[in-house]
A = this chain, B = another copy of it.
Amino acid sequence: MAVNLAEPEGLMPVPGVRLAAIRTGIKDAPRDDLALALFDEGTVIAGVYTQSAFAAPPVALAKERLTPRAWIVNSGNANAATGQPGRADAIAVCDAVARELGLQGDDIQPFSTGVIGERLDVSRICAAIPALVKDLSPDQWLGYGKAILTTDTVTKAVSKRVSVDGTDIILTGVAKGSGMIKPNMATMLGYIACNASVAPDVLEQMVQEVADGSFNRITVDGDTSTNDCFMLAATGKSEMAAITSVTDERYVILQQAVLEVAQTLAQAIVRDGEGATKFVTITVAGGHHAQECLEVAYTVAESPLVKTALFAGDANWGRFCMAIGRARVAKLAPNRVSLWLDKVQVASGGLMADDYTEDAGASVLAQDEFRGMIDLGRGDATETVWTTDLSYEYVRINAEYRS
């Protein structure tokens, strides 16, 4: 069902990173469900975490651990809405990993995705950790990427090579997410590592900026998980001198490369969105500022009426109107608003464009990928989000999962 998304190929090891995956059996499916990434000493790691008030215990713990050396991720159980016992479980798993690696518990960041409201089977996980650690190897990115999946239908991973001031830098990333996850949550996890050398505060800014241009610009159903995380690691295992300032021109080069990897992963999540039959880019231009462009873009991208029209291939200016009109934007002037679907102008100055024909609109929406471009006609800001249509299959997946 995924829209133009193939299994990843050609993943490259990142110097300073070793990975492993194993099956513990906490997930019913006969697939790996526990993944570990170990970083060489000196690696700098930064992350962004769910804004949910119901952030799961492992997320809270990962956020507190500012100088981690490893990520341990289980799928099959989100360890969410589990309170203090859930926190103790996450700590126990980290402690077991740390013992096996000769590190401290605080060196380990835990991540979980899957069923909510159920206790983690800590003993089953801990029993698998020695074998997991023994399997660590630089070329296990694909295995790591597979073990974190839940209802995803395709593994999401990509590598990229970039020259930063003459030094070859390798970036490899994996992600999971598919709208809503087994059985109840819309968890999105993203992990990118590179062998660049970056100061901690600089990496912190980079991960925020990259998230805002990638994982924070996608929506399948407008629902946000308790367990979302996006992590970025820089191992420093290269010849380059450290980037210690965001004004360093190498910052821009590396940030752009990380952004490209993150966008590919984020878009892969949308392409694999539950029930998705279309991959849709919504761009809102001509806003006073980014915030109002995003407000309009998300209102359109999350409107059930727009999404069902996209599913039906119906180039429906009325539904766009309705969604733009209800976005929380002050003093929007409808008579300055225009809409394009790819290169076809549907509306101009708030009215159906004179030369627009339903056939022209329908031919754009017959494609499995296209862009809706809304011009608010009142400023210079532009923002883009990526989304899917709303299909029968979305309802089936989310209504029938347990049956």
**Which A residues lie at the B interface, using CB under 8 A?**
51-55, 78, 80-83, 115-117, 180, 183-186, 221-226, 303-305, 308-309, 311-312, 314, 316-319, 321-327, 329, 331-335, 347, 349-352, 390-392, 394-396, 398-403
Contacts and interface: CB of A to CB of B under 8 A. Distances in A.
Nearest to A362: B402
Given A52-B326, A53-B331, A312-B398, 10 more contacts: A53-B327, A117-B321, A222-B304, A223-B305, A224-B325, A226-B322, A311-B399, A392-B392, A392-B395, A392-B396
8 contacts: A81-B321, A81-B352, A184-B318, A185-B318, A185-B319, A222-B303, A308-B399, A392-B396
A15 B116 CA distance: 58
B308 A395 contact: yes
Contacts of A325: 52-55, 224, 226
A78 B318 CA distance: 10
Contacts of A316: 184
Contacts of A304: 221-223, 304, 390, 394, 398
A395 B403 contact: no
For A51, A180, A308, A327, which residue has the most chain B Cβ atoms within 10 angstroms?
A: A308
Nearest to A312: B399
Residues of A contacting B: mostly: loop
Contacts of A312: 398-403
Given A226-B321, A322-B186, A351-B82, A305 B392 contact: no
A333 B180 CA distance: 24
A305 B395 CA distance: 9
Contacts of A326: 51-53, 223-224
Contacts of A314: 399, 401-402
Contacts of A332: 53
Given A222-B304, A304-B221, A326-B51, A117 B317 contact: yes
Nearest to A358: B402
Contacts of A223: 303-305, 322-323, 326
A83 B350 CA distance: 8
A305 B117 contact: no
A319 B392 contact: no
A334 B184 contact: no
Contacts of A303: 221-223
A399 to B, nearest CB: 4
Contact of A335 (B83, B117, B398): B83
A329 B395 CA distance: 28
B322 A225 contact: yes
Contact of A180 (B116, B222, B305): B305
Contacts of A390: 304, 395
A330 to B, nearest CB: 9
Contacts of A186: 305, 322
A221 to B, nearest CB: 4
Contacts of A54: 321-322, 324-325, 334, 350
A326 to B, nearest CB: 4
